[in-house]
Structure 1
Amino acid sequence: NRIKKTSSNLRVINTEKAILWSEKKLNIELAQNQKIAIKESIDKKLHIITGGPGTGKSTITNAILKILEEVTLKIYLCAPTGRAAKRLSEITKKKAYTIHSLLECDFSSKGFKRDENNPLKCDLIIVDEASMIDTLLLYHLLKAIPSNAKVIFIGDIDQLPSVGAGNTLKDMIASDKVYFTKLTEIYRQAKDSKIILNAHLINQASMPDIHTDKNSDFRFIYLEDLEEIEKKILYLVEKELPKRNFHSLDDIQVIAPMKRGKVGIENLNLVLQNTLNPSSKPLFRSGRRFHVKDKVMQIRNNYQKNVFNGDIGKILHIDTIDQRLDIGFDENVVSYDFSELDEINLAYCVSVHKFQGSECPCIIMPIHTTHYKLLQKNLLYTAITRGKKLVILIGTTKALSIAVNNKEVLKRYTGLENAIRNIGSKAQEIFLPGF
């Protein structure tokens, strides 16, 4: 409410002229609903843009940046995770921060140096992958934003909510107090992608098109036997996909709905480790094996090491004398005592939740009725939208149908929606229909 009510530092601009100017500068042609989203983001102090894959969120982000850079002194781009921040930076060609680093995480207090008494010095903040922000992190972020700054949240409310408590993006929209634009139209360049078309079909509770040719970016492989599914995953990762220039570790990510079982995360990690990175001298800790060159994931925030839940890296060195190992992440190399290895899991296969906000050239996911408790529409939708070039589902059409038709999402009683509803004046919804 404080941010909404306080006027912005930015000078008033003619948004229609500015949008035309951005089209020329970026050499793009914006659709009418994209122009509306940009106009609302420029005109409103606090605005949300939500939409699925292929609806133009990245294009809109770049156009907004191009325009507001001309009238803005300081802009911050941020996202909840390191991988999401890296992706935002790749899209915009500008520096993007994790929210933790932007708020200057204080590992000694497990708090943040930036708050209402020491706010960020900026005129505009753009927050990407906003559906992943939990209630506590949103609270700290909003406290640190100066009253005169403009804030734009960008995300997809149909994905899984944050790992932590809350469902913040959906709650802000449901409150009817925050201006938002909902994008539903799929643009020309995205219409050739079966990944995107099937994601939207799934989101509408319709069965995806699984009868695709070998050159399609979406494949469904029908297998019922769990052992056969496991073997197929190993064959794809080790042999077939590398022939198509997908690197087994860097370009392929296996994700699964459940931890246990033949095609669960734990077993697939073991068999993929043995297949892709066998070792005669493994490190054994707490019943787990670690090898040099293993693909691993940080599974909880470590403020002191500046690594966070969901960060993926590779083991570079294991020192059995000093009982330490080094892991290379995107931005830095981090050392761990052997006693700290409970913070690390193998990441040849990860959960959908853990990979949210990340992307990979190729995604492989087993989908079987043994996972029926977790076969949900938003989980499947989130999973396949992680793939950039190829998505392969392996399993049964019955399991796929269960997921598509299971709209039940565990209700999160956060109180945020009502809290927002009870402050400020009613906001206007701008809904943009698709085809």
Structure 2
Amino acid sequence: MIKLRCVVEHITYQNSENGYSIMKVNVKGHKHPVTIVGSLLEVPVGSSLVCDGDWKVDKKYGSQFVVESWQEEMPATILGIEKYLGSGLVKGIGPAFAKQIVRQFGLETIDVIEEDIQRLREVPGIGEKRIEQIRVSWDKQKDIKNVMLFLQGYGVSTAYAAKIYRQYGKDSIDKVKGNPYVLADDIWGIGFKTADGIATKLGYEKNDLRRCRSGILYTLNQLANDGHVYAVEEQLIKSACELLEADQEAIAAALAQMIADEDLKCEADAIYLPVFYHSECGTAKRLEALFTAEGNDKKQPTFNLEAITKETGIEYDDVQIAAIKQAVASKVMVLTGGPGTGKTTTTQGIIAALKTAGLDIRLAAPTGRAAKRMSEATGMEA
């Protein structure tokens, strides 16, 4: 990784949400300004930066320095200080006041603002109200810089550091120190493993309750990504132990606490994330309503294999025939199987069986794409 010392000359683009910026900077030894890109949250013109990153050549924009992390140094020249103060980042100081302040205090300007801000009254036109405005804005910029430096020290990229500051503001450092695992819940793009890396650098023990809780949630979410709505308690503890390399007793204690706090739902030995538990309960209630609903017994279809085969032009095997029989005899049936096992042709057989009974048929699918495929397969609107 290359270290680049530079002074911001011009801001070409800056995203106020994530801090992503494109800037022209002056670099010693370079005849013309160079372009740097990266997440540079609220960095104004005139800022002196020490950037870590690498050069790359963009096909459209040419040579650029991609910033991975950065630190700001206070401007060391009269012109640099004036540009910095007049950039608009410090509320209450525009270009005109910046020029007057620097004329009054010279290279001591930054020290005056940091240590004895009331001395700004020596500048004509600056009163108590403006001094307070400057102080609040200056402190905010200090908070941002402190947060960025702290987070970069724990391996957090400037892009995510910007997101963290947007979420927690001046409390960011205390929030992360108090429980870095909240980042996995609150900050889009930061997962358990990133949060765990920060926690390790902060000195968190493997059996720490906060770590165990977050590891359990991560394990359940990974299972959900694989299609599982719950985990068997014994297997969940085992999987979390393998992930965290923590003691089984610590994981079990954390799990018990999460259930007691209703952060997780437990039914028998099945452990659910609350969202999936409530979804399952809702599904069960809907199925129960379908099972107990009064049907139209006068139009119960009879199974006629010859009529079905004639309607579809398909020769069904024994398993498919059994599925069609089950479907026409039941209020609710789930048909499942892997790719190429005959679900579509079986569905066509079910529709044919219902058609021969003269029943009104409606097809529905959970997504537009699935509805289109169902229509293509059956020739009916879904």
Q: Which has the higher contact order (CA 8 A, sep 6+)?
A: 1
Greater C-alpha Rg: 2
Higher helix share: 2
Q: Same fold (TM over 0.5)?
A: no
The TM-score with structure 1 as length reference comes to 0.21
The TM-score with structure 2 as length reference comes to 0.24
